[in-house]
Amino acid sequence: MLEYQAILEEIAHEIQPFLNEGNVASYIPELANVMPTHFAMSLMCVDGRSFHVGDYEKRFSIQSISKLFTLAMAMQRVDESLWERIGKEPSGSAFNSLIQLEYENGIPRNPFINAGALVVTDIILTHLKDAHATVLEFLRTLTQKDDINFDFHVAKSEAATGYRNQAMANFLKSFGNLEHEPSRVLNAYFHHCAIAMNTQELARAGLFLANQGIQPWLKEPVLTPRQAKRINALMLTCGTYDSVGDFAYRVGLPAKSGVGGGILATLPNHFTICVWSPRLNSKGNSYAGTKALELFTTKTKLSIF
Amino acid sequence: MLEYQAILEEIAHEIQPFLNEGNVASYIPELANVMPTHFAMSLMCVDGRSFHVGDYEKRFSIQSISKLFTLAMAMQRVDESLWERIGKEPSGSAFNSLIQLEYENGIPRNPFINAGALVVTDIILTHLKDAHATVLEFLRTLTQKDDINFDFHVAKSEAATGYRNQAMANFLKSFGNLEHEPSRVLNAYFHHCAIAMNTQELARAGLFLANQGIQPWLKEPVLTPRQAKRINALMLTCGTYDSVGDFAYRVGLPAKSGVGGGILATLPNHFTICVWSPRLNSKGNSYAGTKALELFTTKTKLSIF
Amino acid sequence: MLEYQAILEEIAHEIQPFLNEGNVASYIPELANVMPTHFAMSLMCVDGRSFHVGDYEKRFSIQSISKLFTLAMAMQRVDESLWERIGKEPSGSAFNSLIQLEYENGIPRNPFINAGALVVTDIILTHLKDAHATVLEFLRTLTQKDDINFDFHVAKSEAATGYRNQAMANFLKSFGNLEHEPSRVLNAYFHHCAIAMNTQELARAGLFLANQGIQPWLKEPVLTPRQAKRINALMLTCGTYDSVGDFAYRVGLPAKSGVGGGILATLPNHFTICVWSPRLNSKGNSYAGTKALELFTTKTKLSIF
Amino acid sequence: MLEYQAILEEIAHEIQPFLNEGNVASYIPELANVMPTHFAMSLMCVDGRSFHVGDYEKRFSIQSISKLFTLAMAMQRVDESLWERIGKEPSGSAFNSLIQLEYENGIPRNPFINAGALVVTDIILTHLKDAHATVLEFLRTLTQKDDINFDFHVAKSEAATGYRNQAMANFLKSFGNLEHEPSRVLNAYFHHCAIAMNTQELARAGLFLANQGIQPWLKEPVLTPRQAKRINALMLTCGTYDSVGDFAYRVGLPAKSGVGGGILATLPNHFTICVWSPRLNSKGNSYAGTKALELFTTKTKLSIF
């Protein structure tokens, strides 16, 4: 049996030199205020065991990791018709590129680039009275932590400076791929991204993805086994921006990263693993976080490949 | 000596079958309300003679033709440094494309595509207290017609539905190529585009472009001869969206078109000629208007080539 | 224990209506001569068991599936420095697109698009005296079938009509990313693609990919476990042209397809599975073959996710 | 009356500091052997007068200026149907880009980018038994100089290294937009580009472009007035690679440049002017040549605008 706790501690030690590589995201001013050398890693097994190392109780801005949960919420409500408005292919471009959106008439490549997540948010707004509250409620239920909340400073900071996302939402609307006004979709989107959680909570929240759609402590399945598998497939092909190929090559796990420095990965039927370190590589993924996951799959020889 | 009046009348006759080709712009709902078979043509010579045919007293939405006048206003105020924020090359793409803007880091290809005109508007806002009033004042002075005004229905209609331009302004801002808030730039821009003028007034307003920068009835030159020439060069290479090559090939005059169906062309040192017919070809230029100008340069053998 | 033979037969039955969907590849004239309703499926387990259904003894043109084996040969010889000349990311474009190659200065996105495979072939040519013979030898050794050979008609047909690949090889050379003359690289490439094998042989040839790099009946490992995993990762993110996302979503196995209608997939540590049906979907993957694999992973609930 | 000789000499003096700017084309090895500080300028008026300065008797590789003459030859033979295979729009991209060709299904943007000139050459090959001899014959007739010839070293040098053009011709063929084999089209094309002429001869050869299609010393018109005008229009919108806008803005004359450092410009109904200086700016146009033409139109106040 693998000594997970020992392995995590080994990684926390070996990762030290890498914590100074890369840069903290600066495009949301509020994100730049975080101490850049934080490091945390949490492993949550489908059998209930969990292991942690580093700052795993320190909350950070989950940013694009929220896209996993909003996608799950949308799949609960609309399933396959979802894919008439969003593709399932890797973008091959930066997460905030507008180029493909223009070439492909307003259909985002996948639900994990910003444009796709805006359409997912638009779908949620159609089905929910209070999208803000429901997303929060969903994460609180998944984790059984009632104090998970928005970081309103981050949400406000992004709303005030997020011209690129403003451009994207208006662009989607011009192609008729948003039902609601761009400002309303953006407001919900910025809030989802601004939720603050720690690695322990994220690993716990995402367990259904590694567990056939089931969150063990909840009565009802979150998703069907097939839906959970499909989100894993999307994570592998689209979850780490335009470095999915390199990430699959090095780490070999389905994963979703965020510019807050978090990465949530799964080994289906085994565990979720969440890592956090704020400095990002040139593709927008946590520099040390990616390295830590690579060390983990190398040491444990566990990956999907 | 050419019998301009007879030629214009001949064209007005020959153009009849073409008035049913193409489609009225529909992306601004208010523009779709115009009667689609209008036709007007006005010729204004540098020696003061003028000739007209058709609905030349009927005002229409000048739309992108306004970009000529806002560019002139910007050149009066900033001249060459202007070109650090805007290119001078044909775009090779649709007038509202965001693709090149992304590849070229927020520097619009030229001042006549929408993105470039938004930057021109931003520059004007920096130099003018009341951009709305000053643009109107400029056109009233150029034409000596005090009742030229905005069509507020068109401005409002575009503001309510112009998601593509909203996207573009926010995209420019995200690259740092707007000083003012996108909403303020768009408000000014939508108003400039919504000015209503007739062909007689437009031919008159643009005379300085064909006349070395001088409006004969004004004391001060509008532009230097060199500036006027340069706007003509820009009109030829960038004035008719992504059909500048075909337009130069068929018509052979510097020109600026608008989706309201107007086209203002010049033969430097000789005349301006303005044509209007609301139905557009697939590139966004007046279908019958382009044809009428082609007939004109064929009949008169006058062109810059 | 899963009844693989029964499942394959079930699929062979259920697939019948799908055998008329899609079109046989026509860009290589010789390929269009195949009977379009062939269907075969072979499963090869790491424990040595194998199962087959349909035309599994009928050889077909392996086309791009050869890229798996040439990549393995290159990795045996150069390993990580390989990635200085080829990327590891999905292309997001058609398999024969030149656009990204130009934007990215002659570095192909990955080794499975045509441009990338040409660079792999160029690398092999640098390390091998007789590339033709060695590739054939490699496949004969992997399968222990000595009569595997080129289909010279197909190779000749592609050489005579493959202007797009000619363009690509010359384009790569213009960027300095081929060491050898384009004609020599193309000659080798066209021959590799023109190898004829059946599903039984392909499933057998690729077993090392599912088996930590080891071909059980050979003394030496073909690749290290890490190298084998990495090829699996590349198959998943880049192996099925521009539908890798959809393929992962539906099938959930690393796979490499060819325009001859074959697809070779792996479930690491379990098996390889090869399917063949000549009619292709719009992305260039076997229509019925993709569907058959989807049925297989749905029925067995076996996938990497 | 303008003192053309004095003006040319003034320019030859003022241009000295600019002769060291830019770089000689190196992509054809043979072109790099020219002495980089050559400068020549020739003016040929429609009334028969001519003026020269500098190395106007020194021949150089006309390169893309040959595209003017092959286009004229094609227009003599096929006229408007030509435009079904080639566009008339500026490319907005580098002269040897393959990107638009792919997006636009093998229809080159215009006859002056390499891809367009290859199609023009293909058309000529369809109509002429011996394209090599006929192009040479055409230039000898236009100039009445019987010793104009190919520089076979340059032709051979380009054939040996022109992988980019090889790529382009094969790409065109793959779209079905070449009738002949790529190798044959390229052979003709490389020879046309490798013709050696001096500025005096080029200004003389192109006079029909400024003179309504008529070469005064020939019995038959070369082109109709309309055809000559249209080539001028194409020169203005497409003749100087991706700096047509800037060139029109600064110089204001229709022109065609070549990477040998020559530029042939026209002022319709007045003159042709040819300048040569081998060092190129970043867009592939002669650095000092462009500057000399700008000085000329500034000093004479003669331009089409």
Residue C291, burial from CB neighbour count under 10 angstroms (0-12, 13-18, 19+): buried
**CA dist., res. A11 & res. D68, Å (int):** 67
Nearest CA in chain A to C303: A229
Task: Choose among A93, A246, A252: nearest Cβ to C229.
Answer: A252
Measured between CA atoms, how close is D49 to chain B, in angstroms? 21
Which DSSP letter does residue D286 get?
Answer: B
pLDDT digits (tens, 9 = 90+) for B66-84: 999 999 999 999 988 999 9
Single-letter residue type at D218: L
Contact B33, B261 (CB under 8 A): no
Contact B267, B229 (CB under 8 A): no
pLDDT digits (tens, 9 = 90+) for B271-301: 999 999 999 999 999 999 999 999 999 999 9
**Mean of the pLDDT values across residues A249-253?**
96
pLDDT at A181: 96
Which residues sit opposite D242 in a β-bridge? none
Single-letter residue type at D123: I
**Domains of chain D with bracketed CATH:** 4-300 (3.40.710.10)
pLDDT at D40: 98
Chain B positions in Cβ-Cβ contact with residue A122 (cut-off 8 Å): none
pLDDT at C194: 96
Chain C positions in Cβ-Cβ contact with residue A100 (cut-off 8 Å): 92
Express as a percent the part of chain B with pLDDT over 70.
Answer: 99
CB contact under 8 A, A89 and C304: no
Residue B42 has pLDDT above 70, yes or no: yes
Nearest CA in chain A to C243: A89
**CA dist., res. B249 & res. B230, Å (int):** 20
Q: What is the pairing mode between strands B40-45 and B271-276?
A: antiparallel
* Beta-carbon pairs below 8 A across chains B and D: 99
Single-letter residue type at B64: S
Crossing angle of helices D182-193/D163-174, nearest 10°? 130
B174 CB-near residues (< 8 Å, 6+ apart): A163, A164, A166, A167, B106
Nearest Cα to Cα of residue A181 among A163, A167, A169: A169
CB contact under 8 A, B168 and A167: yes
**CA dist., res. D305 & res. D300, Å (int):** 13
pLDDT at D214: 98
Nearest Cα to Cα of residue C45 among C207, C164, C166, C186: C207
Helix (H, G, I), strand (E, B) or coil at B288: helix
Contact C283, C272 (CB under 8 A): no
Chains in contact with A via at least 3 Cβ–Cβ pairs below 8 Å: B, C
pLDDT digits (tens, 9 = 90+) for A4-42: 999 999 999 999 999 999 999 887 888 888 889 999 999
Chain C positions in Cβ-Cβ contact with residue D174 (cut-off 8 Å): 163-164, 166-167
- Give the DSSP per-residue string, A175-202: TT--SS-HHHHHHHHHHHHTEEE-HHHH
pLDDT at C92: 75
Identify the contact set of chain B against chain A, taking CB-CB distances under 8 A. Answer: 97-99, 102-103, 163-164, 166-171, 173-174, 182
pTM listed for this prediction: 0.92
Residue D34 token pair: 């020219």
pLDDT at A242: 86
Chain C positions in Cβ-Cβ contact with residue A243 (cut-off 8 Å): 89
Measured between CA atoms, how close is B8 to chain D, in angstroms? 21
Q: Which residues of B are catalytic?
A: 64, 67, 189, 241, 259
Question: Which ranges of chain D have pLDDT less than 50?
Answer: none
Residue B104 token pair: 């070229």
CB contact under 8 A, C171 and D97: no
pLDDT at D31: 84
Considering chain A, what is the average pLDDT of its residues?
Answer: 94
Which DSSP letter does residue D55 get?
Answer: S
pLDDT at A272: 98
**CA dist., res. A288 & res. C152, Å (int):** 51
Nearest CA in chain D to C182: D163
pLDDT at B131: 83
Chain B positions in Cβ-Cβ contact with residue A168 (cut-off 8 Å): 167
pLDDT digits (tens, 9 = 90+) for A125-170: 999 888 888 999 999 999 999 999 999 999 999 888 889 999 999 9
**CA dist., res. D272 & res. B105, Å (int):** 38
Chain D positions in Cβ-Cβ contact with residue B90 (cut-off 8 Å): 89-90, 92, 237, 244-245
Measured between CA atoms, how close is C250 to chain A, in angstroms? 8
CB contact under 8 A, D167 and C97: no
Which residues sit opposite D273 in a β-bridge? D43, D265
C119 CB-near residues (< 8 Å, 6+ apart): C85, C86, C108, C111, C172, C177, C178
Task: Choose among B87, B225, B252: nearest Cβ to D233.
Answer: B252
pLDDT at A92: 75
Measured between CA atoms, how close is D215 to chain B, in angstroms? 17
Residue A96 has pLDDT above 80, yes or no: no
CB contact under 8 A, B170 and A174: no
Of the listed A61, A97, A154, A189, which one is catalytic?
Answer: A189
Task: Choose among A98, A166, A169: nearest Cβ to B98.
Answer: A98
Residue A289 has pLDDT above 80, yes or no: yes
Measured between CA atoms, how close is D23 to chain B, in angstroms? 23
pLDDT digits (tens, 9 = 90+) for B174-230: 999 999 999 999 999 999 999 999 999 999 999 999 999 999 999 999 999 999 999
Chain D positions in Cβ-Cβ contact with residue B93 (cut-off 8 Å): 92
Residue B46 token pair: 């540098």
CB contact under 8 A, B248 and D237: yes
**CA dist., res. B48 & res. B38, Å (int):** 26
Chain B positions in Cβ-Cβ contact with residue A103 (cut-off 8 Å): 99
Which DSSP letter does residue A290 get?
Answer: H
Nearest Cα to Cα of residue A148 among A90, A104, A207, A191: A191
**Mean of the pLDDT values across residues B5-21?**
96
Residue B1 has pLDDT above 70, yes or no: no
Q: What is the pairing mode between strands A262-267 and A255-257?
A: antiparallel
Residue B4 token pair: 């301009």
ipTM: 0.93
Measured between CA atoms, how close is B305 to chain D, in angstroms? 5
CB contact under 8 A, C99 and D97: no
Chains in contact with C via at least 3 Cβ–Cβ pairs below 8 Å: A, D
Nearest Cα to Cα of residue B32 among B187, B150, B161: B161
Angle at D5 between CA D1 and CA D10, to 5 degrees: 110
CB contact under 8 A, D89 and B246: yes
pLDDT at B31: 84
Task: Choose among D103, D164, D173: nearest Cβ to C163.
Answer: D173
Cβ neighbours around B17 below 10 Å, total = 9
Measured between CA atoms, how close is C213 to chain D, in angstroms? 38
Nearest CA in chain A to B103: A99
Which residues sit opposite A274 in a β-bridge? A42, A264
Nearest CA in chain A to B176: A163
Chains in contact with B via at least 3 Cβ–Cβ pairs below 8 Å: A, D
Residue D259 token pair: 């990477």
CB contact under 8 A, D230 and B305: yes
Chain D positions in Cβ-Cβ contact with residue B268 (cut-off 8 Å): 304-305
Question: Which ranges of chain C have pLDDT less than 70?
Answer: 1
* Beta-carbon pairs below 8 A across chains A and B: 53
Residue A233 has pLDDT above 80, yes or no: yes
Single-letter residue type at C64: S
A56 as an active site residue: the answer is no
Contact A262, A62 (CB under 8 A): yes
pLDDT at D131: 83
D259 as an active site residue: the answer is yes
Contact C114, C106 (CB under 8 A): no
CB contact under 8 A, A99 and B99: yes
CB contact under 8 A, D171 and C182: no
Nearest CA in chain D to B83: D246
Nearest CA in chain C to D94: C102
Identify the contact set of chain A against chain B, taking CB-CB distances under 8 A. Answer: 97-99, 102-103, 163-164, 166-171, 173-174, 182
pLDDT at B98: 86
Residue B64, burial from CB neighbour count under 10 angstroms (0-12, 13-18, 19+): buried
pLDDT at A273: 98
Question: How far out from the chain centre does Cα C273 lie?
Answer: 12
Identify the contact set of chain B against chain D, taking CB-CB distances under 8 A. Answer: 87-93, 100, 109-110, 225, 229-230, 232-234, 236-238, 242-246, 248-249, 252, 254, 268, 301, 303-305
